[in-house]
Structure 1
């Protein structure tokens, strides 16, 4: 179902780009020191790695995301209140470095190829979808940092909403959470 939502958003953006009577898609907004991540509310320039921005119908400014993966997660969630008009990600083929991807290196998300499952973590310390406008640059990144290629339209809800990293249930994290919850509900502390 979430894959359908992403496919519909891409189709609407493509349709809007083709119709002359539809308003021109907004340009990506250059990052400023005040730009804050939608989920974390931390300034984006404090985080390494690529970022994302989503323009919504009726809103004057885009939503910024500290990681590309967070932007894709937003697209998968049913709680959205506005139609998606445009989605941009930072192009790591044009980035100065991982630490400083640039203020104006944006590319339409649907036009990029992504490296997933690499050893590089995004700005919030989670696995990242690393976007490239050039497949050769993406393959060079894979040679150095591992991972595999993926297209934007192929992302699913499971790719972004499933647990990741060392806090996965496989390492006993769920047991720790259960123990803490039991301690909170046990008045004796037993």
Structure 2
């Protein structure tokens, strides 16, 4: 009897260890969500907020990948994506966020996609993004960011330093500057042209 008990014990201990190790490793796999690669913009890509074709707008863009969603959300401006990330409630977990690097790029031909926390951002410059609102301009090369500030004003911040207030303040300033009245005047002019 002692021999069969020893055999069972010598067999059960390694088996239990193997089962627990497999369960632990299996649990790790489920908790880690694979980071998707950035997606190239196509003629069908539209901005999340504006629903306009992104390829028709100059300046850097952004894309946010959400857990369980087959395609990323595209943003016409980097600032809009940062504002989205600062929203208190999201429908899905954010898996990855990419912005277009402006180091060595032109405004009408933004650079390659980089992870949102990789570049430095020029904030408060005179640069207007794809929707003609103030933009957060990403640069992976600090010298390019400094040169941009010298030419266009603003300041340099890391992504982790950008606050929700900074992401949202520009929209309220646009309203205060009379942009709402301009839209009203344009609608009124269109109405009178059409005879409404």
Shorter-chain TM-score tier: 0.7 to 0.9
CA, structure 1 residues 82+140, in 2 after alignment: closer, same or farther (shift >3 Å)? same
Q: Normalising by the residue count of structure 2, what TM-score does the alignment of the two structures yield?
A: 0.71
CA, structure 1 residues 172+137, in 2 after alignment: closer, same or farther (shift >3 Å)? closer
Larger radius of gyration: 2
Contact 1:54 1:88 in 2 (8 A): yes
Alpha-carbon RMSD: 2.3
Give the counterpart of 2:156 among 132, 142, 149: 149
Cα distance per residue 1:104-144 (max 9 Å; x no partner): x0000011100011111000011000001111111111122
What's the CA shift for 1:162?
Answer: 2.4
> Matches of 1:126 and 1:23 in 2, distance apart?
34
Match of 1:140 in 2: 147
> 1:76-115 to 2 correspondence within 5 Å?
76-95=86-105, 97-102=106-111, 105-115=112-122
> Matches of 1:136 and 1:130 in 2, distance apart?
13
Unaligned runs of 5+ in 2: 1-27, 182-196
Larger relative contact order (CA 8 Å, sep ≥ 6): 1
Q: Normalising by the residue count of structure 1, what TM-score does the alignment of the two structures yield?
A: 0.74
Unaligned runs of 5+ in 1: 1-19, 177-190
CA, structure 1 residues 119+111, in 2 after alignment: closer, same or farther (shift >3 Å)? same
How many positions carry a matched residue from both structures? Answer: 154
Which structure is higher in helix share? 2
CA, structure 1 residues 64+173, in 2 after alignment: closer, same or farther (shift >3 Å)? closer
CA, structure 1 residues 23+33, in 2 after alignment: closer, same or farther (shift >3 Å)? same
> Matches of 1:173 and 1:60 in 2, distance apart?
36
Contact 1:91 1:132 in 2 (8 A): yes
Contact 1:69 1:128 in 2 (8 A): yes
> Matches of 2:66 and 2:135 in 1, distance apart?
23
What's the CA shift for 1:173?
Answer: 7.3
Contact 2:127 2:134 in 1 (8 A): yes
SS in 2 for 1:75: helix
